Amino acid sequence: MTNESDILQAVYQVILDRKSNPTDSSYTSSLMRGGIDKILKKIGEEATEVVIAGKGGIHDEIVYESADLIFHLLVLLGHQNIPPDAVYNELRRRFGTSGIIEKAARIETT
């Protein structure tokens, strides 16, 4: 793999494969079968675990829990047929712009 996004793309492709070809032994397939509510519940749980790990300040726990959260976010993207590139492009669009200014601009357009 040549860069960090390659592993995310590889994981995303496995998620799409599990979505298209579900198996009883696949955790990802079970999430997909559970639907959006199950996926969102897992994201909430994982986000909370990242917060707890961050508060604890233990490097390895922060890494493990962050990986779990990113994985479950990729499952959500796969469930909704949103390629990770859409998120990368949004991050590129925002790069170099103040978060306060960027968020204000989103609020003004809604």
Q: Encode pLDDT of 30-39 as tens digits.
A: 999 999 999 9
The C-alpha angle 48, 88, 65, rounded to 5 degrees, equals 25
- Report how far residue 57's alpha carbon sits from residue 70's, in angstroms, rounded to the nearest whole number: 19
- Report how far residue 87's alpha carbon sits from residue 65's, in angstroms, rounded to the nearest whole number: 20
For 83: left if phi > 0, alpha if psi spans -120 to 50, otherwise beta; the answer is beta
Architecture of the CATH domain 4-83: Orthogonal Bundle (1.10)
Q: Is the pLDDT of residue 54 over 90?
A: yes
- Report how far residue 29's alpha carbon sits from residue 49's, in angstroms, rounded to the nearest whole number: 22
Structural domain boundaries in the chain: 4-83
pTM, rounded to two decimals:
0.87
Q: Encode pLDDT of 77-100 as tens digits.
A: 999 999 999 999 999 999 988 777
